[in-house]
Amino acid sequence: MSNDSRPSSEAPKTRDGTPGWVFVALVVVAAIFVPLVISLSGEEGPDNDPWAHVEPRPPKTDHTELMPGPYETGPEVTRACLECHEDEGQEVLQTAHWRWEGEPVRLPGREEPVRMGKKNVINNFCIAIQSNWSACSACHVGYGWVDESFDFSQEEQVDCLVCHDHSGQYAKAAGGYPAEGVDLAAAAQSVGPPTRDNCGGCHFRGGGGNAVKHGDLDATLANPRPRVDVHMGTHDLVCVDCHETEDHDMKGRALSVSVTNTNEVECMDCHAAEPHEDTRLNSHVASVACETCHIPQVAIREATKTHWDWAEAGQDLPEDTHEYLKTKGRFEYEQGLVPEYFWFNGRGDRYLMGDTIDPSEPTELNPPLGSLRDPEARIWPFKVHRATQPYDAIHKTLMVPKTVGEGGYWTDFDWDQALRLGARATGLPYSGEFDFTSTVMYWPLSHMVQPVDQALQCRDCHSPEGRMDWQALGYPGDPAQWGSREVERPTTLAGIGGER
């Protein structure tokens, strides 16, 4: 070994001049930690951090100075908003929340594309808005839609407050105007990103009251317990956390008024496609929607309407909002509703105004599309609403009654008059003879997702007492015994959405 007696200033250095001991230290540390890191990593469960996909919420800007008021009318507030938010008015005018109508879509068996939306479809709750606009527009994001002459191009008629008010005292009345006694200035100064109360003000109360329509949306979701809804309860997410919005265009589709699945909200927007540690559970994902196992029941706290018989309306019987009202007829409500299960690929068919029906059979107003053989279809949970509603006995079309206002059924209890006035508004021919027929609507369930320890277990479906009617779904029998359906798996697990 050479006996180097060089002074320390000439201590061996690496090529770039770093002292040798640094090199030694680096090598030692690397030699220890690199093998450790390599051997200790590699135990990963499913890659599953849903929070990574939740957009950060925009901060709430204090509008107290910005919106001094006072304001007399809704449009006055809107004009003030538009002074700063110049583009937002036009943005809203393009949306379905404003137009109550979607883009033209093709429906199976029809040659021409159709534009449909709440503006012009029939449902089996309050039936349709034509001739009843002033009442229905209490849930329109605008002011003044009282008849068919409403001008959809006026951005000052946009109601900013219904979605952005945080004062809690803003309410809308007939025609969409602010209700009597609302302090518009207070509302305007309180604005912020929409909360569950904003959305729920309308969406919890569809069909004429709290919890009536959807089954999975009602006022308990304003402040739910974790066992009622894990997203809105345990994690305090608001609607727009999932229904992401860009330029006021909100993600999300309702099968009652939309038949396509573009721009849809999916579990997989945040959750991994195969999120279970158990491979047997993951093997269900191709045929069973997440919602099926994770929404074992809806209408958990509040009963939802499952039957509505309009034919019984008009009688002077004892009234109860959950049993019978003279204006509306007889109902059935159910709490803790167990869903019904059908194949669904995200798209639907729709009964349109003027279509003929077969009165001897229940008419499906919005049947979900999909089948055992459809690789994009999965088994979904639905709330099914069955009703008996009026139709033209000669023309065999469903009819829209005028219920609200002068001459409406709720005033005069005269079906013939109501149907005639409604026909005038819709333009459908009315023969003068009417009867009642059964209709069915399907409401796919996505809310009231319960915690994991409430999810369905194997025997909840795979047993003689199980929830699934296998033969109705097209299986020869229980797939646990017969084997799963053999379809080509889609290359992307599109589920109810487009490509991810």
Partner 1 sequence: MRVLLQLSVLALMIALGAEAAGAQVAAEARIHPRIPLLDAQGVNVLRSGNPVSPITTCGDCHDTDYITTHTVHGDPGLEALTSPPQAVSSRPWTPPEVEGAEMNCFLCHTPSPANEARLEVMARGEGMWAATATLGNTSIVRWEGDAWRWNPAAFDDEGNVQDTLLALQSPKTQNCAQCHGIAGDEMSRPVVFQGLGPGDWQTLSRGEVISPQRISESGVNLVGKEGLTRSWDVHAERLLECANCHFSVNNPIYRAESRETQPEGLIFDSRRMPLGAYLQRPSHNFAGQSRFTGQTRPAEPLSCESCHDPEPTHRWLPYAQRHMETLTCQVCHTPKLHSVSVESVDWTALNENGEPGVTWRGCAAGCETAATDLVEGVEPTLLLRREADGETRLAPYNLVTSWYWVAGPEGEAVDLELVRRASLGSAAGIEAVEARLREMGVGDPRIKGEIQPYPIHHSVATGDWATRDCQTCHEENSRLARAVHLSDHAPGGVVPHLVETAEAEMIGPVERRPEGQVVYAPRTSEAGLYVLGHDYVRWANALGIFAVLATLLGVAVHGFLRWRAAREGVEGSPEEEGPPVYMYTTYERIWHWLQALAIILLLLTGIEIHVTRMGILDFALAVRVHNVLGFLVLANAIFAAFFHLASGEIQQYLPRPQGFFGQAIRQAQYYLGGIFRGEPHPFEKRPDRKLNPLQQVTYLMILNVLLPLQVVTGILIWGAQRWPAVDGMLGGLTFLAPLHAFGAWMFAAFLLMHVYLTTTGPTPLAHLQAMVVGWEGTETDERTMDPVAEAGTRRGTETASETA
Candidate residues 307, 326, 386, 462; the one interacting with partner 1 per rule CB under 8 A: 462
**Stretches 182-190, 233-241, 357-365, 457-465: which one binds partner 1 (CB under 8 A)?**
457-465
For residues 241 to 280, the per-residue mask of contacts with partner 1, x marking binding by CB under 8 A and - elsewhere, is ------------------------------------xx-x
Residues 6+ apart with CB under 8 A from 402: 131, 132, 408, 409, 418, 419, 421, 422, 425
Q: Is 15 in the site for partner 1 (CB under 8 A)?
A: no
Closest separation between CB of residue 302 and partner 1, Å? 23
Q: Using a CB cutoff of 8 Å and minimum separation of 24, what contacts does 21-25 make?
A: none
Q: Is 406 in the site for partner 1 (CB under 8 A)?
A: no
- Pair 141, 91: CB distance under 8 Å: no
Candidate residues 21, 72, 84, 94; the one interacting with partner 1 per rule CB under 8 A: 21
**Stretches 3-11, 78-86, 163-171, 282-290: which one binds partner 1 (CB under 8 A)?**
3-11
* DSSP result, 241-307: HHS-EETTEE----TTT----TT---GGGTS-SS--SSHHHHTTTTTB-HHHHH---B-SSS-EEEE
Q: What's the CA gap between 212 and 218, in Å, rounded? A: 8
Candidate residues 15, 17, 40, 358; the one interacting with partner 1 per rule CB under 8 A: 40
- Which CB, 411 or 454, lies closer to partner 1? 454
In the numeric block, which tokens belong to residue 492?
A: 């992307």
Q: What single-letter amino acid sits at 455?
A: A
Q: What's the CA gap between 357 and 365, in Å, rounded? A: 10
- Which CB, 24 or 394, lies closer to partner 1? 24
Candidate residues 19, 46, 70, 104; the one interacting with partner 1 per rule CB under 8 A: 19
Q: What's the CA gap between 163 and 191, in Å, rounded? A: 9
Closest separation between CB of residue 278 and partner 1, Å? 7
Q: Is 52 in the site for partner 1 (CB under 8 A)?
A: no
- Which has the closest alpha carbon to 496: 352, 316, 376, 333? 376
Count of CB atoms situated within 10 Å of the CB of 232:
25
Q: Which residues pair with 172 in a beta bridge?
A: 178
Q: Is 458 in the site for partner 1 (CB under 8 A)?
A: yes
Q: Is 472 in the site for partner 1 (CB under 8 A)?
A: no
Q: Is 31 in the site for partner 1 (CB under 8 A)?
A: yes
Q: Is 459 in the site for partner 1 (CB under 8 A)?
A: yes
Q: Is 179 in the site for partner 1 (CB under 8 A)?
A: no
In the numeric block, which tokens belong to residue 114?
A: 């159709």
For residues 407 to 446, the per-residue mask of contacts with partner 1, x marking binding by CB under 8 A and - elsewhere, is ----------------------------------------
Candidate residues 18, 20, 104, 332; the one interacting with partner 1 per rule CB under 8 A: 20
Candidate residues 15, 17, 36, 151; the one interacting with partner 1 per rule CB under 8 A: 36
Q: Is 16 in the site for partner 1 (CB under 8 A)?
A: no
- Which CB, 11 or 84, lies closer to partner 1? 11
- Which CB, 27 or 179, lies closer to partner 1? 27
- Pair 186, 167: CB distance under 8 Å: yes
- Pair 249, 202: CB distance under 8 Å: no
Q: Is 3 in the site for partner 1 (CB under 8 A)?
A: yes
Cα angle 211, 215, 217; round to 5: 65
Q: Is 317 in the site for partner 1 (CB under 8 A)?
A: no
Q: What's the CA gap between 106 and 104, in Å, rounded? A: 7
H/E run at residue 418: helix 415-426
Number of residues that bind partner 1 (CB under 8 A): 41
- Which CB, 362 or 451, lies closer to partner 1? 451
Residues at the site binding partner 1, with contacts judged by CB under 8 A? 1-8, 11-12, 19-21, 23-25, 27-29, 31-32, 35-36, 39-40, 43, 277-278, 280, 452-453, 457-460, 462-465, 480-481
